[in-house]
């Protein structure tokens, strides 16, 4: 007996909650796009869960593919191409590209050149592609999910309206702030995790140190400071992704233990702050802005 819509929703929700903390509304809108086969555009900065959400659906459904767009991705990388399989006599054979799966995830679509972006237009509208004068049909329930980075990021190309119109819906995934960020941090660090033991006796296993609510408050304070910079129009400064904060805390856990601390050390996280975020913010480790962020960190941790 086929799984009911509600049964599928509950199964998908259970699977995704191990990676992401989504609001019920976002989850329902995402699944509505899938069931209606209305292609979906997920917008927001890197590290906000867009790819994880799409990947989870693909793994649950099966018959899916992922295309990572870059500036040198070509239409043939997506659609496929004719290849020579015999030279006596000459015989060509069409090798299908990743577009021929039921679910296709196009990661960072606006990093591709316009010519490559446009190769998706016919597939999205007609559920088929024309290659060397021959029509190739796609699955009738073909569904494309594309993620898009903000256009102020380097190496992005605007999608033309003709392509935007092919997407039935867009969902926004901004960098989380306030209560949402705290909920995600609680979900992510709800228990200490040990990394798998190494095969090498020279490398000890790492036990992640607990992350208590005080550190959540520090992160919220730093995120709000970055939001203030963004509102003031400071170029390149913006709130950070959960991935960035997670990396900072995990690095802090390791550095604390290297320094023989049994708790998440304030000094370790202070030392890591410039190294973890300067490349993400496009500023130097010793810039005035970074010094201000470290000073802000010191003020937040003095209240712990």
Residue 238: exposure state from Cβ atoms within 10 A (0-12, 13-18, ≥19): buried
Alpha-carbon dihedral of residues 72, 244, 19, 216, nearest 10 degrees? -170
Please report, for the chain, the start and end positions of each structural domain, with discontinuous segments joined by +. Answer: 5-172, 178-301
CA-CA distance, 262 to 226, in Å (whole number)?
30
CB 229 within 8 A of CB 237: yes
* Predicted local confidence at residue 205, as pLDDT: 59
Backbone CA torsion sign across 4, 10, 13, 15: negative
Q: How confident is the model at residue 177 (pLDDT cuts 50, 70, 90)?
A: confident
Angle between helices 242-258 and 266-281 (to 10 degrees): 140
Query: What are the start-end ranges of the H helices in the chain?
Result: 5-16, 24-35, 50-61, 75-79, 114-118, 121-126, 161-164, 178-188, 213-231, 242-258, 266-281, 288-301
Q: How confident is the model at residue 61 (pLDDT cuts 50, 70, 90)?
A: confident
H-run or E-run covering 171: strand 169-172
Per residue in 109-150, pLDDT (tens digit) is: 988 888 888 888 889 888 999 888 888 999 988 999 998 877
Per residue in 208-241, pLDDT (tens digit) is: 788 888 999 999 999 999 999 989 988 778 888 8
Q: Do β-strands 143-148 and 103-107 pair in parallel, antiparallel, or remain unpaired?
A: parallel
Query: Among the CATH numbers 3.30.420.40, 3.40.50.170, 1.10.3720.10, 3.40.50.300, which is that of 5-172?
Result: 3.40.50.300
CA-CA distance, 112 to 76, in Å (whole number)?
13
First to last CA, the chain: 55
Average model confidence (pLDDT) for the chain?
83
What pTM was computed for the model? 0.68
* Predicted local confidence at residue 151, as pLDDT: 65
| Cβ within 8 Å of residue 22, ≥6 positions away | 16, 30, 49, 53
Distances (CA, A) of 256 to 206, 211, 212, 219, 298: 11, 12, 15, 18, 17
């Amino acid at each position: 007996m086929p799984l009911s819509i509600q049964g599928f929703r509950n199964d998908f929700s259970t699977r995704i909650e191990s990676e992401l903390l989504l609001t019920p509304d976002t989850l329902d809108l995402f699944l509505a796009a899938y069931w209606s086969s209305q292609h979906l555009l997920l917008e927001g900065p890197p590290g906000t869960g867009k790819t994880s959400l799409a990947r989870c659906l693909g793994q649950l459904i099966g018959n899916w593919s992922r295309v990572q767009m870059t500036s040198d991705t070509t239409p043939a990388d997506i659609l496929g191409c004719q290849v020579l399989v015999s030279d006596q006599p000459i015989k060509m054979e069409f090798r299908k590209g990743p577009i021929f799966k039921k679910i296709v995830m196009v990661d960072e679509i606006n990093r591709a050149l316009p010519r490559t972006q446009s190769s998706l237009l016919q597939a999205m509208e007609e559920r088929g592609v024309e290659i060397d004068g021959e029509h190739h049909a796609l699955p009738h329930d073909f569904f494309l999910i594309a993620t898009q980075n903000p256009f102020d990021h380097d190496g992005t190309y605007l999608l033309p309206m003709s392509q935007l119109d092919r997407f039935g819906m867009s969902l926004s995934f901004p960098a989380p702030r306030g209560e949402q960020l705290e909920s995600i941090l609680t979900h992510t660090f709800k228990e200490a995790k040990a990394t798998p033991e190494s095969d090498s006796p020279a490398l000890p296993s790492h036990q992640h140190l607990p992350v208590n609510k005080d550190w959540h408050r520090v992160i919220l304070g730093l995120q709000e400071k970055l939001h203030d910079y963004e509102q003031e129009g400071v170029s390149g400064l913006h709130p950070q992704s959960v991935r960035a904060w997670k990396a900072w805390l995990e690095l802090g856990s390791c550095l604390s233990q290297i320094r023989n601390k049994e708790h998440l050390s304030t000094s370790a996280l202070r030392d890591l702050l410039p190294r973890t975020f300067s490349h993400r913010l496009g500023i130097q480790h010793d810039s005035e802005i970074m010094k201000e962020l470290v000073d802000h960190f010191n003020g937040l941790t003095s209240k712990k």
